[in-house]
Structure 1
Amino acid sequence: MLCSSHRSSSQAWQAPSRSRTSFPVNMGIIFLIGAALGWLAVKVLRPGEHMQGLIVACSSAGNWGTIPLMIVPAICNEEDSPFGDASTCNSLGLSYVSLSMALGNFYIWTHSYSVMKRSAQLYKKSHNNHLPTNIRKEENSGEDANGHYRAFLPQPSGEFCEDVSSGLPSNQLASSYMYYLRRAKDLLVEMLNELWSPPSVAALIGFAIGTIDKLKSLVTEEDGPLRVVLDSAKLLGGAAIPCTVLILGGNLTKGRGRTLMKPLVVVSIIAIRFAILPACGIGVVKAAGELGFLPRSPLYHYVLLLQSTVPPAMSIGTMAQLFDVGEEECSIVFLWTHLVAAMALTLWSTVFMSLVS
């Protein structure tokens, strides 16, 4: 990640100033659309509490690292590649993908992590305190007494609960103001804690090294005192993709024949990731290009379009294992989404290259 973030900062961000925000903005729009569609799927399908966060996370967070790192160099090395010289294409393509991967970690380890964590906490609390052990997961709709989906509601502050238990204050306006102030403080503290995850810290270090010339020279120059850090990062990065694929293959076997997840849940995630989001991605990139926010680089446009077509992020499986909730369901989702991705990526890549060439 350190090496990837350095490349992205030193090369991809040399684009015109109006295009420097296109990567995070494009990813943010696609992420928000996916999260909204995932929330809508939860409202319609009414899965158990243990699956609410999983559906939203799989619908919004994509594999913005491993999949593009395999696809972009393969296209660049083709003889009749529409992106020009293979060496230049590989260099720029890897920098764009590295930037995409680094930025994606911020979205994944803030929003997706928070949703998965909250869903797991609510499910465990409800399961341990209110549900018999023989009730199946799918029988728990995840709604509270008012019909709201609790996994997406803010958890009440402990101090506010104490205030309520001791009696309502006389000034309702002041009470509401203090409540929202506490909620904002709790949300800020939670986001700061989540930003200290290892992928986010690595991305921040990579951005700092790539954008500050004095730091970059210490790492990238042949006689730099920290050159060994770059060499070590390259060695580790070379083994990242094979290790990731092996981990993915091991995780796919956990959900085989062990879950009662509704097929419509998997179908909805597949439809969101491989039908709706790619169409939205085309609209977003085309609109940004017409407004002049993107550089005139076919490869740059292609990477932006590719961000909306990848399967769910593998970090979601890590979160499911971390919170010990929804591991089997996550494996089922990963299995079917990656099977469909083999065909969907081929189809959409053909469409994308015809649009940018």
Structure 2
Amino acid sequence: MARFLLSWLEAAVVAAAAAAVGHQSLLGSITIAVLPVAKVFTLCFLGFLMASKYVNIFPENGRKLLNGLVFSLLLPCLIFSQLGQAITLQKMLQWWFIPVNVILGAISGSIIGYVVVILVKPPYPYFRFSVIQIAIGNIGNVPLVLIAALCRDTSNPFGDTETCSTQGTAYISYGQWVGAIILYTYVFHMLSPPPEGTFDLEDGNLPLKIPQKDAYPENVPLLEQEDSQTDSDNSMKGKISSFLVLVYDKLQLKQILQPPIVASILAMVIGTVPVLKKLIFTRDAPLYFFTDSCIILGKAMIPCILLALGGNLVDGPGPGSSRIGVRTLVAIIIGRLILVPPVGLGIVTLADKLGFLPDGDKMFRFVLLLQHSMPTSVLSGAVATLRGYGKEAAAALFWVHIFAVFTMAGWIILYLNILF
């Protein structure tokens, strides 16, 4: 009997200790998950404060210049230095599921978006616009910021600060080129004017006459060039030139080959060629000064982009909210932040079960999950502006990013508990 009581007491002590450890682990997960979001919110608030009318040292022109600096210089430098140092040909083959995950995220998000939009029935011109706002998440800027804030803490579960930051940045950067292709092909097509007619969104959605297919400005010079070539000499060289220009125009290559994408391609090319990698990315390389300069500039990307994002929120949602309607905005927020992440979790879990993911790489899985849990892509807002939905995109991005502060913390807590 005494032996039985002793065994029971030992079991009770072990169970109590396990419960205490689990409780501490839960608190640790909450702390690790909330702190990066809190850091992001703090920097955004400082940008908001600097742009407010009470301080007013961060005007709209300054924010536009800073956005251009981040997009054209600081972000490409960060991607080039981090991805180039981390990637090899073997790792590129191991990371094949990252771009696939981006594509699957866009497909699943579009399906969810269509279902939500059919149920909500937004105003007619905003049907496909609402689908895009739910379908396309921010797979670049916001995950990079979260990874940087998470890895800065020495108690993070992904290892030492430098390894955590380098791996996380490399994984995120490797998927950005696919996201850019999706943005400037699928999203660009989805946000084209409705087939019944175009709408002047600035003047109250007035239906306009449908222009003929051959009357689009981008097509007219091509047809005129082809006709002139045919009438003049009908040379093979002229036909080939016209065809190449047509392909370049139709594929939107100028829009796809943005600075961050060019930086990703260069990093992958140089990083997978051992001779070039030793020449540029190793610390004792003769050209490492260039990489080191990119590292210095890349470190400035995180604070600059957060200050710009916070400053952009100072104008609020604007008139776009009334055009879309509260019901549609709520549907976009719920669809993007609540409905899409569980589907992404299912995709990543299934891929892990099928053996598609590298064994034991927690950061790899964490980045895949983050790709499904982010707010709407800021670049999709830029494409929407090109297609005439600028104010509506600003309103949707404003509200989605406000609520994403809370949902991202919740999803990160869940992911850390699943991974660890």
TM over 0.5: yes
**What's the counterpart of residue 313 of structure 1?**
377
1:13/1:308 CA distance change after superposition, 3 Å: farther
**What's the counterpart of residue 349 of structure 1?**
412
Structure 2 runs not aligned, ≥5 long:
1-75, 216-222, 224-242
Matches within 5 A, 1:178-327: 189-222=250-283, 224=285, 226-252=287-313, 253=315, 255-257=317-319, 259-295=322-358, 296-323=360-387, 325-327=388-390
**What's the counterpart of residue 177 of structure 1?**
none
Contact 1:281/1:305 (CA < 8 Å) preserved in 2?
yes
* One-letter amino acid of the structure 1 residue matched with residue 297 of structure 2: L
1:288/1:60 CA distance change after superposition, 3 Å: same
Asked if residue 91 in structure 1 is aligned to residue 166 in structure 2, the reply is yes
* One-letter amino acid of the structure 2 residue matched with residue 354 of structure 1: N
Cα deviation for residue 21 of structure 1 reads 1.1
Contact 1:18/1:293 (CA < 8 Å) preserved in 2?
no
Output the CA distance in 2 between the equivalents of 1:53 and 1:95. 32
Deviations 1:212-251 (A, max 9, x none): 2233233224565644542443343223233323433344
Structure 1 runs not aligned, ≥5 long:
145-149, 163-181
* One-letter amino acid of the structure 2 residue matched with residue 68 of structure 1: P
Cα deviation for residue 293 of structure 1 reads 0.9
Asked if residue 127 in structure 1 is aligned to residue 199 in structure 2, the reply is yes
Partner SS, residue 375 of structure 2: coil
**What's the counterpart of residue 330 of structure 1?**
393
Cα deviation for residue 12 of structure 1 reads 5.1
1:263/1:205 CA distance change after superposition, 3 Å: same
**What's the counterpart of residue 27 of structure 1?**
102
Cα deviation for residue 289 of structure 1 reads 0.7
Output the CA distance in 2 between the equivalents of 1:122 and 1:233. 46
Contact 1:254/1:328 (CA < 8 Å) preserved in 2?
no
Output the CA distance in 2 between the equivalents of 1:126 and 1:192. 25
- The structure 2 residue matched to 1:47, chosen from 101, 108, 123, is 123
Supply the RMSD in Å over aligned alpha carbons.
3.6
Output the CA distance in 2 between the equivalents of 1:354 and 1:14. 32
Give the aligned length: 314
1:76/1:247 CA distance change after superposition, 3 Å: closer
1:250/1:17 CA distance change after superposition, 3 Å: closer
Q: Which is higher, the Rg of structure 1 or of structure 2?
A: 2
1:239/1:53 CA distance change after superposition, 3 Å: farther
1:113/1:76 CA distance change after superposition, 3 Å: same
TM (normalized to structure 2)?
Answer: 0.64
Cα deviation for residue 80 of structure 1 reads 3.8
Output the CA distance in 2 between the equivalents of 1:235 and 1:113. 34
**What's the counterpart of residue 35 of structure 2?**
none
Matches within 5 A, 1:74-113: 74-113=149-188
Output the CA distance in 1 between the equivalents of 2:312 and 2:128. 19
Output the CA distance in 1 between the equivalents of 2:78 and 2:145. 17
1:63/1:199 CA distance change after superposition, 3 Å: same
Asked if residue 71 in structure 1 is aligned to residue 146 in structure 2, the reply is yes
Q: Which runs of 4+ in 1 moved over 6 A?
A: 14-18, 185-188
Output the CA distance in 2 between the equivalents of 1:60 and 1:342. 19
TM (normalized to structure 1)?
Answer: 0.74
Cα deviation for residue 263 of structure 1 reads 1.4
